[in-house]
């Protein structure tokens, strides 16, 4: 089908649900995150049509809307099979691209991937998305003995092998990155740092909360004003502004705490896509404490659904305590916050209500972080008065919470620290030279 010139930045949304009323709010936000302008939508409540997803008549409506708006892309808030995508393409005007929800998410991830790790994870997800489609084409060509059907044949079989080989190489490189990052986490712990991870759905306000908790960032600071600020620490009202991870030192007196902002969850992600970003989620799984951030201004049913999904993701591999943080209390009345606390008590016992933007409740959150992290051990070291001892005392000051130092004929240091720091201080003390008589 031919038609007027298409605008590649204009999109039409299409969605089908088996029952109930289709909700296009999230897919519109995803389209916006990918820099599309949404010109209209077509929705339908019915069982899936195996050939077109939508029914024949609704596809006619979709074609008419595309022609009317000049849209260059149709975005389905459904998972499309390879033949559904092909069939829809034959019905739409020439030049109109068909993308499903997961293709759109991968495109957004590709736009936001800045680090080698993020780029590898995006490529891995894209290959896992493509592989079953190539396998289906190869299987059909072999079954029907039509190597030329839809451009299939030896090319697709070779492509299948290339994809599998590339997936294997990416996994090996990501495994090495994971080992390096785990080594870095352990070094941080040995230096006395507790590791806290922010988790939750996109747009819950994790990046804004990180800025509020951090000792070296201002909440209203724009990208580029801080020399160490990465793009992943931006605070914007859009999905997927955080694809990688950003770590900042928290503004706490008693403890040395590093807080990491991680990739946001999103609903209805398939297992293969979550697995592709396992390396990023390791920052959550291997933390000492997880702050599960939710947007308290959202409808209660939506919050409950997101909490259930988040718990399924986190409790599968995470052993650290999880504290639910009800963010954006500046957007709702206090009475509504209390009602939602009560309604969510089974899923989120003893949550902390905060406003990352305005700072409300952040002091209570810092106290809760202190309470939930592994307890410090108290130690008292009696050391000889030597130059090497002064170096050790300085190291203890840097890595522990020092209560008192008494300088006399001997040096007595009273301090509290993570068990690994206490153990390391004892080892360093045992290596100190004994002064000559």
- Which residues are annotated binding-site positions? 200-207, 242, 261-264, 327-330, 355-357
Which residue from 110, 287, 301, 302 is spatially nearest to 204, judged by alpha carbons? 302
Binding residues for GTP: 200-207, 261-264, 327-330, 355-357
Q: What is the DSSP string of 18-47?
A: SSS----HHHHHHHHHTTPEEEEEEEEESP
Separation CA 327–CA 346 (nearest Å): 18
Using the structure block, give the residue that is written with the tokens 């592994």. 374
Strand 97-100's sheet: what is its strand order?
A: 37-45, 7-17, 71-76, 97-100
Separation CA 72–CA 99 (nearest Å): 11
Strand 352-353's sheet: what is its strand order?
A: 246-249, 256-261, 193-200, 289-295, 322-327, 352-353
Using the structure block, give the residue that is written with the tokens 């006395």. 192
Separation CA 17–CA 336 (nearest Å): 31
Helix (H) or strand (E) holding 197: strand 193-200
Triad 307, 122, 216: Cα angle to 5°: 65
Q: How many residues does this entry show for the chain?
A: 437
For residue 217 the two structure tokens come to 């960032």
* CB neighbour class for 305 (10 Å; exposed up to 12, middle 13-18, buried from 19): middle
Separation CA 233–CA 260 (nearest Å): 10
Given its phi and psi angles, is residue 205 left (phi above 0), alpha (psi -120 to 50 degrees) or beta?
left
Radius of gyration of the chain (CA): 27
Binding residues for Mg(2+): 207, 242
């Amino acid at each position: 089908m031919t038609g007027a010139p298409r605008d590649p930045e204009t999109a039409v949304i299409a969605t089908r649900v088996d029952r109930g009323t289709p909700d296009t709010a999230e897919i519109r936000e995803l389209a916006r995150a990918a820099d599309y302008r949404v010109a209209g939508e077509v929705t339908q409540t019915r069982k899936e049509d195996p050939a077109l997803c939508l029914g024949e008549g609704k596809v006619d409506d979709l074609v008419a809307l595309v022609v009317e708006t000049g849209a260059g892309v149709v975005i389905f808030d459904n998972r499309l099979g390879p033949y559904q995508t092909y069939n829809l393409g034959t019905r739409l005007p020439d030049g109109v691209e068909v993308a499903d929800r997961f293709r759109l998410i991968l495109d957004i991830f590709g736009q936001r991937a800045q680090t080698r790790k993020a780029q590898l994870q995006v490529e891995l997800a894209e290959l896992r998305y493509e592989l079953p489609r190539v396998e289906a084409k190869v299987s059909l060509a072999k079954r029907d003995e039509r190597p030329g059907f839809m451009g299939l044949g030896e090319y697709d079989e070779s492509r299948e092998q290339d994809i599998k080989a590339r997936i294997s190489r990416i996994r090996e490189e990501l495994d090495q990155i994971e080992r390096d990052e785990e080594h870095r986490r352990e070094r941080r712990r040995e230096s006395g740092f507790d590791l806290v991870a922010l988790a939750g759905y996109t747009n819950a306000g994790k990046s804004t909360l990180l800025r509020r908790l951090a000792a070296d960032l201002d909440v209203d600071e724009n990208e580029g004003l801080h020399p160490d600020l990465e793009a992943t620490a931006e605070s914007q009202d859009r999905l997927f502004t955080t694809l990688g991870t950003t770590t900042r030192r928290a503004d706490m007196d008693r403890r040395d705490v590093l807080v990491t902002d991680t990739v946001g969850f999103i609903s209805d992600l398939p297992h293969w896509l979550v697995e592709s970003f396992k390396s990023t989620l390791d920052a959550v799984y291997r933390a000492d404490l997880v702050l599960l951030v939710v947007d308290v201004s959202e409808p209660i049913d939506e919050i409950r659904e997101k909490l259930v999904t988040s718990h399924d993701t986190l409790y599968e591999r995470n052993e650290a305590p999880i504290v639910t943080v009800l963010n954006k209390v500046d957007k709702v009345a206090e009475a509504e916050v209390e009602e939602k606390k009560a309604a969510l008590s089974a899923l989120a016992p003893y949550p902390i209500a905060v406003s990352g933007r305005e700072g409300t409740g952040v002091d209570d959150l810092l106290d809760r972080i202190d309470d939930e992290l592994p307890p410090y051990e108290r130690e008292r070291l009696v050391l000889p008065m030597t130059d090497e001892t002064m170096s050790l005392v300085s190291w203890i000051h840097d890595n522990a919470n020092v209560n008192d130092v008494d300088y006399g004929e001997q040096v007595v240091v009273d301090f509290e620290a993570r068990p690994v720091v206490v153990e390391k201080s004892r080892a360093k003390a045992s290596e100190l030279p004994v002064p000559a008589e």
